[in-house]
């Protein structure tokens, strides 16, 4: 067991594969990103991803928001229809994403709009509407300009989608709303081949941020493509597990969107052994998915509305991992901690206060992270174990609070202030209670966030 010193100062052990911030296109897919005219700005607002060989296994994690948008509801229905047993996995041959209008809280008319878009995609690619998955993002309560979207579908399919990294990158650009960066992450790893030997699989995710982000049994808009082989149910299990320790540990502003969705599609085109049957293939796919999801979550936090830095909280010494993740999430979600980081103020008291207030995640998230249903039910929403006289806190490499040594250690606030000017401010909390570890990703609370969101629709 590491000593408290070691735990507090060393980064979390990270056995995940290397991530490249690139839009490597996995085999078996083609894509396009373009402008359909939804956004008044004229910026790209339309993305279409197609599985070129027809329907492939697909999995989803959706927002739990009761005000789920039309694209969320239609995608659920389609997965239910094609998978037969669940609204979160089935088969799909296309993902259509529009940006500029969320098509949320638009009533029956919004449902009809989204259905018409699905029919148009299916008609253009020669498949059924049930094999089309939907994403949309933007202002709540505005209708999508269906005619423009349908005309764009026909145009881009007529011109031909491309199997290129550039095309997938353009799709990522089109997902953006208030994002200042394009979010993409890619992992390529070796796995056993379906017919023996070795092959490589690629997992690439594209995503948007950057406001109304506080995933809760969900994520924000992301599309993850892979040429690995997995059944819908396995793909869902691995995707949900990855989200539970990455996107579910991300907060920009505490609001969970009406449109949060992540889709994963697995084309099987790499000729890899199936993750359903081959343990090495399963582990490799699971780790690649987690690495991609984690890196996208970090990009999303760093680009949070008004953010000037990435805040990460690493927790060690927790009674277990669920407690560690709860404490990390509480710290990066605290408005007071976020404002203090903005002010480069090593205000460890607020970190202590937030940690002392941490509640373990909901049962669904705990189950996704590997707890048994009974354990998840017993732990859900319960306080995390925190003992002030065991806890230690370091901010940007500076020890600030040392419970076993009596508490405050007289941190050098000037030196800490300089260290907090970095792109990434790391807050480490060692709870001194056990071996649980966890991390979470957030961003500073700034005047720019307030300005941007006080004036968003006016």
Footprint (CB under 8 A) of its own copies, residues 133-172:
139-142
**Shortest distance in whole angstroms from residue 23 CB to its own copies:** 30
Sole binder of its own copies in the list 102, 296, 376, 443 (CB under 8 A): 102
**Shortest distance in whole angstroms from residue 208 CB to its own copies:** 16
Looking at 219, 226, 261, 446, which residue is catalytic? 219
Nearer to its own copies, 161 or 310 (CB): 310
**Shortest distance in whole angstroms from residue 164 CB to its own copies:** 36
Nearer to its own copies, 84 or 388 (CB): 388
What residues from 172 to 231 belong to the interface with its own copies (CB under 8 A)? 211-212, 216
Q: Binding segment for its own copies among 83-91, 129-137, 151-159, 380-388 (CB under 8 A)?
A: 380-388
Sole binder of its own copies in the list 51, 68, 210, 326 (CB under 8 A): 68
- 99 lies in the binding site for its own copies (CB under 8 A): no
**Shortest distance in whole angstroms from residue 281 CB to its own copies:** 36
**Please, are residues 73 and 111 in contact by the beta-carbon 8 Å criterion?**
yes
What residues from 228 to 257 belong to the interface with its own copies (CB under 8 A)? 253-257
**Shortest distance in whole angstroms from residue 141 CB to its own copies:** 4
**Shortest distance in whole angstroms from residue 142 CB to its own copies:** 8
Nearer to its own copies, 10 or 405 (CB): 405
Sole binder of its own copies in the list 66, 158, 196, 374 (CB under 8 A): 66
- How many residues line the site for its own copies (CB under 8 A)? 75
What residues from 418 to 457 belong to the interface with its own copies (CB under 8 A)? 445-447, 449-451, 453-457
Nearer to its own copies, 435 or 452 (CB): 452
- 380 lies in the binding site for its own copies (CB under 8 A): yes
**Please, are residues 458 and 346 in contact by the beta-carbon 8 Å criterion?**
no
Nearer to its own copies, 45 or 260 (CB): 260
**Please, are residues 368 and 244 in contact by the beta-carbon 8 Å criterion?**
yes
Nearer to its own copies, 236 or 350 (CB): 350
- 272 lies in the binding site for its own copies (CB under 8 A): no
Q: Binding segment for its own copies among 160-168, 172-180, 183-191, 404-412 (CB under 8 A)?
A: 404-412
Contact letters (x/-) for its own copies, 329-368, by CB under 8 A?
A: ----xxxx--xx-xx-x-xxxx-xxxxxxx---x------
**Shortest distance in whole angstroms from residue 402 CB to its own copies:** 9
Nearer to its own copies, 96 or 358 (CB): 358
- For 304, counting Cβ atoms within 10 Å of its Cβ (0-12 exposed, 13-18 middle, 19+ buried), the class is buried
Q: What is the 3-state secondary structure (H, E, C) of the chain?
A: CCCHHHHHHCCCCCCCCCCECCCCCCCCEEEEEECCCCCCCCCCCEEEEEECCCCEEEEEEECCCCCCCHHHHHHHHHHHHHHCCCCCEEEECEEEEEEEECCCCCHHHHHHHHHHHHHHHHHHHCCCHHHEEEEEEEECCCCCCHHHHHHHHHHHHHHCCECCHHHHHHHHHHHCCCCCCCEEEEEEEEEEEECECEEEEEEEEEECCCCCCCCCCCCCCEEEEECCECCHHHHHHHHHHHHHCCHHHECCCCCCCCCCEEEEEECCCCCECECCCCHHHHHHHHHHHHHHHHHHHHHHHHCCCCCCCEEEEEEEEECCHHHHHHHHHHHHHCHHHHHHHHCCCCCHHHHHHHHCCCECCCHHHHHHCCCCHHHHHHHCCCECCCCCCCCEEEECCEEEEEHHHCEECCCCHHHHHHHCCCCEEEEEEECCCCCEEEEEEECCCCHHHHHHHHCCCC
The reply to whether 3 belongs to the active site is: no
Write out the catalytic residue numbers.
Answer: 219
């Amino acid at each position: 067991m590491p000593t408290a010193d070691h735990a507090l100062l060393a980064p979390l052990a990270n056995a995940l594969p290397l991530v490249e911030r690139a839009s490597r296109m996995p085999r078996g897919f083609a894509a396009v990103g373009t402008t359909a005219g939804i956004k008044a700005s004229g910026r790209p607002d339309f993305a279409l991803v197609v599985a070129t060989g027809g329907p492939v296994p697909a999995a989803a994690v959706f927002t739990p928001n009761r005000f789920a948008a039309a694209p969320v509801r239609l995608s659920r229905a389609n997965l239910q229809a094609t998978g037969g047993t669940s609204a979160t996995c089935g088969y799909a041959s296309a993902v259509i994403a529009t940006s500029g209008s969320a098509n949320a809280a638009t009533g029956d008319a919004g449902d009809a709009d989204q259905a018409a878009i699905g029919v148009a995609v299916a008609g253009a690619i020669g498949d059924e509407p049930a094999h089309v998955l939907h994403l949309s993002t933007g202002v709540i309560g505005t209708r999508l300009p269906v005619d423009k979207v349908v005309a764009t579908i026909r145009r881009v399919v007529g011109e031909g989608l491309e199997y290129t990294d550039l095309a997938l990158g353009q799709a990522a650009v089109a997902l953006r709303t208030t994002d200042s960066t394009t979010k993409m992450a890619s992992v390529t790893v070796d796995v056993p081949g379906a017919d023996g030997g070795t092959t490589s699989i690629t997992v690439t995710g594209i995503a948007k941020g950057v406001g109304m982000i506080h995933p809760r049994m969900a994520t924000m808009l992301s599309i993850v493509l892979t040429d690995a082989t997995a059944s819908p149910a396995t793909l869902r299990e691995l995707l949900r597990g990855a989200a539970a320790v990455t996107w579910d540990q991300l907060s920009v502003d505490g609001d969970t969107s009406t449109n949060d969705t992540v889709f994963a599609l697995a084309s099987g085109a790499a000729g890899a052994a199936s993750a359903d049957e081959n343990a090495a293939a399963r582990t490799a796919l699971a780790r690649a998915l987690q690495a991609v999801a984690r890196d996208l979550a970090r990009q999303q936090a760093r680009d949070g509305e008004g953010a000037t830095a990435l805040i990460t909280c690493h927790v060690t010494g927790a009674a277990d991992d669920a407690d560690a993740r709860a404490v990390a999430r509480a710290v990066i979600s605290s408005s007071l901690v976020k404002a203090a980081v903005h002010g480069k103020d090593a205000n460890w008291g607020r970190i202590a206060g937030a940690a002392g207030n941490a509640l373990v995640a909901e049962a669904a998230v705990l189950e996704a992270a590997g707890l048994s249903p009974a354990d998840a039910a017993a732990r859900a929403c319960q306080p995390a174990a925190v003992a002030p006289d065991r806890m230690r806190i370091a901010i940007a490499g500076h020890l600030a609070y040392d419970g076993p040594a009596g508490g405050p250690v007289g941190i050098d606030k000037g030196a800490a202030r300089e260290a907090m000017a970095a792109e990434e401010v790391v807050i480490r909390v060692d709870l001194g209670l056990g071996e649980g570890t966890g991390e979470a990703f957030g961003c500073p609370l700034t005047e720019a966030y307030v300005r941007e969101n006080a004036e968003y629709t006016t």
